[in-house]
Structures are given as structure tokens and as C-alpha cells.
Chain A
Amino acid sequence: MVFDYLASGLVFSSIIVLGSIGLSLIYSIADFANFAHGDTMTVGAYAAFLTFGAVGGLGGSVLGLPLGFFVALVAGIVVAAVVAVLTEKVVYDGMNAGSIELLITSIGIAFVYRAIIQIGFGADFTRYEVQTLRPIEALLPYGIRVTQHDVAIVLSALVLVGSLHTLLQYSDLGRKMRAMADNPDLARVSGIRTDRVKLWTWIIGAGLAGSGGVFLGLYNQLSPRMGFNLLLLIFAAVILGGIGSVYGAMLGGFLIGMINQLTPVLSDIALLTDMGALLPLVPDSFGITIGIEYANAIAFVIMVAVLLVRPNGIAGEAT
């Protein structure tokens, strides 16, 4: 059973990682906590939904997914990036405001995204019209139930994260982005066009979020609240990794996603459930059972613990 949880944790954390990298990038370069990030993921998911409905399967299939789905994935990434850039240009860019005001504005933006999607598609759950697959036979003896779709999600996330790593480490843009995250004023006086770098940050961050949204829709279902519901997990991941650190966000996203899917294991731990029988002075019937409904609450507890012990996160510099 634990192997199965680990496998689904891997799939789920790929999605969280895609969301948290973008949030962390925007946090460090645009310098505010973007509460609309979760809903940017929703935008990507629904853009892919529309595109997939329009182009259809296009024949052929990779890992159980028709080629048309990959077209839809690209469309989701592009639309999420375009929407984010438009929002930046129309709303955030003209505001002469500090990070706190931008933060409050971003929650308004989140509602606007969600409301428009809900008006267009209704509040109900939908699915991509992709054939649901049976779990891969070869892994069943080990108790692991993953489909080819799950493998596709993990592989695509790896490709995206890998190319981001290459971009950040070896390209000119990546060096400029790192410089700007480090010290925006110094970057500016060194001749870096910070406006342009900021725009690219929005494109990359929102694009990754869009892909995360598409995969989330494939992994679960689509609903207008899907991204907002994920926001708490993504923020927990970013804080755990250290705000502003992209690699921290990857690690944080991986851990939060894993822990989230491993929650059922908690109810199997005898120490917690039979605490009354094991400890003296406590009634025998006493026990803590943490059901899967508290998966998000665990992320919150981790986040608060990190803020208490090491507010700069794993990868952040200690104060």
C-alpha cells in the first residue's frame, strides 16, 4: 500500500511543483504573493479543455494520450501565460503600489478569473474527453496502481522543470532573472532591462502554472475552484522551500505533494490511533485519527511549523 501512496504522491507532487515554481518566481521578481496563481492554473486547465474539444484527438497516441491532448497542453500553457501578461500590463503594471497592495489586488484578480470561468463553464465538475485507462499491469503485483496518464504527467513535469533549470543556469535570460531576484536595483543599474525580465518571469511562471492546471485536470477533474483549492498547498510548498528560491520551491512542492498523498498512512500508525491503550493516564478509547479530509490541514500545520522554526524555509538563507 505504501508504494501506491508513494507513486500517487509522485504524480501529485509533479503538479504541485509546477505550481509552486511559478509562484516562487513571481514572488521573487515581481515581489508580491500572487494569490491569483491558483486560478491561473484553472485558466490553463479550461483553455486546454476548450482546445481539446475543438481539435479532437488527431490520431496517434503517446502514453495513452492522443496527440491532440499535447496540442491542448501547449494551448493551456500559452493561454495562461497570455492571460497573466495581460493582467500584469493592464492591472499591476500601472499601479504605483507596494507589495501589500498588489497582494490584495491579486485576490480580486483571482475572483475575476474564477467567476468568468464559472459563468462560461458552470460550477460543475468536468473531465477531458480522454479515455480512462486501467492501471499499468506490470506494476500491479507491487500494489502500485498508476496509469500511463500518471506516467505522462510525471515525465512532462520533469521535462518542463529540466528546461527551466537549463534556462536559469545557462541562458542569458536566466542569469538576468537570478540577478533580478537577488537585487532588483543592482540589476537595473547594471543595464538589465528589468521590465522585460519581469515580463518573461510572468510568462514562465504562468505558463508552468497553466501546465500544472492541465495535469491537475487530467489527474482529477476540472472545476472552477480547482486552482483556488490548491493555493494553500502551493503556498505551503513555497514557504517550506523558502520564498524566492526556485529550487526550494521544487523541493517544497515535492515534499508537500508527497505528504499530501501519504495522509492515509497516518491513520494506520498504531501510535496515534491507539494512543489511549499505549499511554498511561489516558483513556483507552482515546486516539487521534487523521483522515484524508485533513490532507490540506497537514500542509497548513507544516507551513506554520516552518514559519515558527525557520521562516526562510529549507533553501532560504537563515537569518
Chain B
Amino acid sequence: MSALSDPKGYWADLTRSEQGVLAFIVGFAGLLLVGLLTGALAPTYFLYLVGLAGMYALLSFGLNSQWGFTGLINFSVAAFFGVGAYGTALMSASSSPIAGDVLPIVGLVVALGVAALLALAIGIPTLRLRADYLAIASLGLAEVVRLVVLNERQFTNGSAGVRGIPPFFEGVPVLATLPETMPGLAVRPLPGTTIVLETPFWSALLNVAIVLGFVGISYAVLRRAHRSPWGRVLRTIRSDEDLARALGKNTYGFKMQSFVLGSVIMALAGVFYAHLNLFVSPGDLDPVTTFYVWVAVILGGSGSNRGALFGGFVIVAIREGTRFLNEFAWIPIDVAPLRLLLIGVLIVVLMRYRPQGVLPPQRELIWPKVVDEAPDRPDSGVREAKAGGGDD
């Protein structure tokens, strides 16, 4: 059933919360469109925000494949993100103290490799134990990674950060020089407003294309993995690890795979961030990032990939939206603690009143074909399909 061929039926088929989210997205997109057309929102900044939202969506995917799929509590999202960002930055930046001037693609591979090794190192001692040990150890890991980046000046430049990171497609024919070769365009979307599109716009557009590529690939992989027998084992571990073990599954191995997979996706977000911002510093490893991502995943619905996508976008809206609060003089306090308060209250309220999130995983866990072929009452169809599919 497609939204285009049968919009009415598509709408009726959605759950209540799905309808709400869809209406919210359409309304928000409309608002952004108005902002773009009237020139209130600069297109380059808009594309930067889309890039940032894509980055948060990637981080949420990573956390979702750990917490949402398997129930692993990872409080060092910021550390894996930082490993990704610093990994590629130290490889490819011109001011890098260790390697430098390597192709960003190589930097990507190195960064993901280091993140995978780090995930293994923290997973080995903790994943055999109760879930809260991983939570405690990963909170410590985030602090240690931050300390190392801050203090090992001979490797990381310390608090000065790493400058001179090339764009992602450096060294690739055509794409590397694409933003410069594109002509400047003057667009008149409405009478009286003129928007000039030049090199910064094209490079921002290229960045958005990169992040959409990353998000698209990760989404496709995770969706496939989530529905596969492998994903079913992870879900079983999340709801009852003893059961999974009784069924003969090596739960330690499965948990490790899920943890490494999630950490690599987080590092991918970091790689993108380094090439988006072209500068990384220890400030990017702020532990608060971790909890933004947690809010995104819990809000979206733990275990749901599209929920994680939605949560990632909401978080960017909160982060960039509250930035403007500082400009209002009548608010006497700084925005930083207000944001912290907002995150804290969101976590508590969500866990207290709606732990399943806005878009809990329902049909997305099952092959759509099974649902479509089910008899009139889709609910019982879903249940039967679940019972039929869960026994391998």
C-alpha cells in the first residue's frame, strides 16, 4: 500500500501516533519551506541543519541498534562519535600531528576500525555481566576518551583541536571540485526576494548528499538486519536473555556484534561531522551529546529505526531552536542549563509515562508482505505472523 496511490487508505491504516507524527512532520516541513521561500532561512544554513540532523539520525541509529535492538546501555555515544571525528581528522587534516594529508576515504576506514576496536575492548569485560555494568563502564570510557584527547597533545593537538580537515571528497575526480565548478545561481522564489546560490551552497548540498547516503545505507542495513533471524535473536536477548541462552544462542557473541555495529555507525556520524565542520576539538566530545542521542532514541521509540530517524531530527530542532533563546534579553538565565533541564525532564517524563516512545516498533518488525496478506483483522494477522515467524 503506497502513500501516493491510495493516500486515504494509507492514512487510515496508520496508528494514532503515526498520524500525529506524520502531521507534525508535514507541518514542520511546510514551516521550513515558507522560511526558505521568504528568505528568512538562508539555504546554506538550512542545508547545514539538514546535515546536522542526518548526523544525529546516524547517532540514533547506532544507539538504537545497541539499546533498541539488544538492550545494551551505552553512555559513551559521544566517545565513539569523537573517535570517528578524530580518527578521520588526524588522518586527513593538514595540521594533524601524526599522519595528515591522507585521503578522507582512508580516514573513514581507519576511524571505523578504531571505533570497532574500542567497542570490543569495552565489550569484552562488560557484556558477559548484567546490563548495568556496561552502563557504568561506558560512562567511564567516555570520560577517559575525553581525557586522552585533551591531554595527549603530541597526538591530538589537545585543546587547540585539529584544523585544516579537507572536505570528504578530496582527491576524488569531479566531486572534489564540484562546488567550485557549479555556476552561481540567483533564484527568485517569490517576487521581491532573491537568493543567490554560490559555492558554499553547493558544498553544503554535497554534504547533505553524503549524509543522506550514509543515513540511507545505514537505514537499509539496519532495517534488513532487524527483521532477519539475527535481529530476532537480538530482540529475544532484549526481552529475556536467559530464554535466548536456553534456545542455544551465544548471547555474548550476539551482544558483541550488536554493540560493535552500533559503535561503528556512531563513528560514521563522527566522520561525517569532521568533514562537515572541517574542525574538531575536545569540546565535541561533551558527554551531553550522548544524552541528546538517548532522548532521540527513547522519544522515537526504542527499537524502531524510523523512530530513531524522527528523534534525530527533533533533537536538532531542540538544539538549534533553543540557540535563539539567548538573543531574547528578557530571559535572565543562560540557555545551557535550560537545555540540560529539558533533556533531564524529557528523559524522566518519557521513561515514566511513555517508555515505548512516540513511534514504537510494530509492523516494521515483520515483513510487510505477511501483514498485507493477512485476513481482514490485521491485529490477529500480526499476532499470527509473529508467532509463526519467531520459532526459528
List A residues at the B interface (Cβ < 8 Å): 32-33, 35, 91, 94-95, 97, 99-101, 103-105, 107-116, 118-119, 123, 224, 231-232, 235-236, 239, 291, 293-294, 296-297, 299-300, 303-304, 307-308, 311
Interface centre among A100, A111, A114, A307 (most CB of B within 10 A): A111
Residues of B within 8 A of A236 (CB): 140
Please state if A97 and B355 are interface contacts (CB–CB under 8 Å).
yes
Interface centre among B128, B336, B337 (most CB of A within 10 A): B337
- Stretch with Cβ within 8 A of A (4 or more), from B22-30, B181-189, B308-316, B346-354: B346-354
Please state if A111 and B132 are interface contacts (CB–CB under 8 Å).
no
CB of A125, distance to nearest CB on chain B (Å): 16
Please state if A304 and B347 are interface contacts (CB–CB under 8 Å).
no
Known: A107-B291, A119-B337, A294-B151. A307 touches B125 (CB 8 A): yes
CB of A259, distance to nearest CB on chain B (Å): 15
The verdict on B106 contacting chain A, using a C-beta distance below 8 Å, is no
Residues of A within 8 A of B340 (CB): 111, 114-115, 118
Residues of B within 8 A of A311 (CB): 128-129, 133
Across the interface, name the chain A residue whose C-beta is closest to B238.
Answer: A100
CB of B212, distance to nearest CB on chain A (Å): 30
Please state if B132 and A123 are interface contacts (CB–CB under 8 Å).
no
| A–B pairs, 15, beta carbons within 8 Å | A35-B139, A100-B73, A107-B347, A108-B348, A111-B343, A111-B347, A114-B337, A116-B341, A291-B151, A296-B140, A300-B144, A303-B136, A303-B140, A304-B122, A304-B125
Q: Report the bound CA distance from A45 to B213 in whole Å.
A: 49
Among A33, A109, A118, A308, which residue has its beta carbon within 8 angstroms of that of B348? A109
Interface membership of chain B positions 340-369, coded 1 if the CB is closer than 8 angstroms to chain A and 0 otherwise: 110111111001100100000000000000
Residues of B within 8 A of A303 (CB): 136-137, 140
Residues of A within 8 A of B298 (CB): 104
Across the interface, name the chain B residue whose C-beta is closest to A224.
Answer: B337
CB of A77, distance to nearest CB on chain B (Å): 24
Please state if A308 and B294 are interface contacts (CB–CB under 8 Å).
no
Please state if B338 and A119 are interface contacts (CB–CB under 8 Å).
yes
Across the interface, name the chain A residue whose C-beta is closest to B131.
Answer: A100
A-B pair number, CB within 8 angstroms: 125
Across the interface, name the chain B residue whose C-beta is closest to A117.
Answer: B337
CB of B337, distance to nearest CB on chain A (Å): 4
Question: Which 7 residue pairs spanning A and B have beta carbons closest together?
Answer: A108-B347, A111-B344, A115-B341, A112-B344, A118-B337, A108-B348, A300-B140
Q: Report the bound CA distance from A303 to B135 in whole Å.
A: 13
Please state if B351 and A307 are interface contacts (CB–CB under 8 Å).
no
Among B131, B143, B294, B343, which residue has its beta carbon within 8 angstroms of that of A296? B143
Q: Report the bound CA distance from A101 to B330 in whole Å.
A: 38
Please state if B132 and A33 are interface contacts (CB–CB under 8 Å).
yes
The verdict on B126 contacting chain A, using a C-beta distance below 8 Å, is yes
18 other A-B residue contacts (CB within 8 Å) besides A236-B140, A307-B126: A99-B132, A100-B131, A101-B355, A103-B132, A103-B135, A104-B298, A104-B351, A105-B351, A108-B344, A111-B343, A112-B341, A114-B344, A118-B340, A119-B337, A123-B334, A232-B139, A300-B140, A304-B137
Residues of A within 8 A of B129 (CB): 307, 311
Please state if B140 and A108 are interface contacts (CB–CB under 8 Å).
no
Please state if B139 and A115 are interface contacts (CB–CB under 8 Å).
no
Q: Report the bound CA distance from A163 to B389 in whole Å.
A: 58
Please state if B143 and A232 are interface contacts (CB–CB under 8 Å).
yes
Q: Report the bound CA distance from A239 to B148 in whole Å.
A: 23
Known: A33-B132, A105-B347, A111-B347. A307 touches B336 (CB 8 A): no
Known: A112-B344, A112-B345, A303-B136. A297 touches B147 (CB 8 A): yes
The verdict on B333 contacting chain A, using a C-beta distance below 8 Å, is yes
The verdict on B124 contacting chain A, using a C-beta distance below 8 Å, is yes
Near A by CB (< 8 A), chain B positions 93-132 give: 122, 124-126, 128-129, 131-132
Please state if A231 and B139 are interface contacts (CB–CB under 8 Å).
yes
Q: Report the bound CA distance from A251 to B143 in whole Å.
A: 24
Please state if B151 and A97 are interface contacts (CB–CB under 8 Å).
no
Residues of B within 8 A of A300 (CB): 137, 140-141, 143-144
Residues of A within 8 A of B346 (CB): 108
Please state if B351 and A239 are interface contacts (CB–CB under 8 Å).
no
Near A by CB (< 8 A), chain B positions 285-302 give: 291, 294, 298
Residues of B within 8 A of A35 (CB): 135, 139
The verdict on B71 contacting chain A, using a C-beta distance below 8 Å, is yes
Across the interface, name the chain A residue whose C-beta is closest to B288.
Answer: A111
Q: Report the bound CA distance from A35 to B147 in whole Å.
A: 21
Q: Report the bound CA distance from A224 to B333 in whole Å.
A: 15
Interface centre among A91, A118, A231 (most CB of B within 10 A): A118
Please state if B351 and A101 are interface contacts (CB–CB under 8 Å).
yes
Across the interface, name the chain B residue whose C-beta is closest to A98.
Answer: B131
Residues of A within 8 A of B132 (CB): 32-33, 99-100, 103
Known: A308-B124, A311-B129. A115 touches B344 (CB 8 A): yes
Please state if A308 and B143 are interface contacts (CB–CB under 8 Å).
no
CB of B345, distance to nearest CB on chain A (Å): 6
Residues of B within 8 A of A114 (CB): 337, 340, 344
Interface centre among B71, B124, B132, B291 (most CB of A within 10 A): B132
Residues of B within 8 A of A297 (CB): 143-144, 147-148
Residues of A within 8 A of B140 (CB): 232, 235-236, 296, 299-300, 303-304
Residues of B within 8 A of A111 (CB): 291, 340-341, 343-344, 347
Across the interface, name the chain A residue whose C-beta is closest to B333.
Answer: A119
Residues of B within 8 A of A123 (CB): 334, 336-337
Q: Report the bound CA distance from A236 to B340 in whole Å.
A: 25
Q: Report the bound CA distance from A113 to B336 in whole Å.
A: 14
Residues of A within 8 A of B151 (CB): 291, 293-294
CB of A133, distance to nearest CB on chain B (Å): 32
Q: Report the bound CA distance from A313 to B338 in whole Å.
A: 39
Please state if A95 and B333 are interface contacts (CB–CB under 8 Å).
no
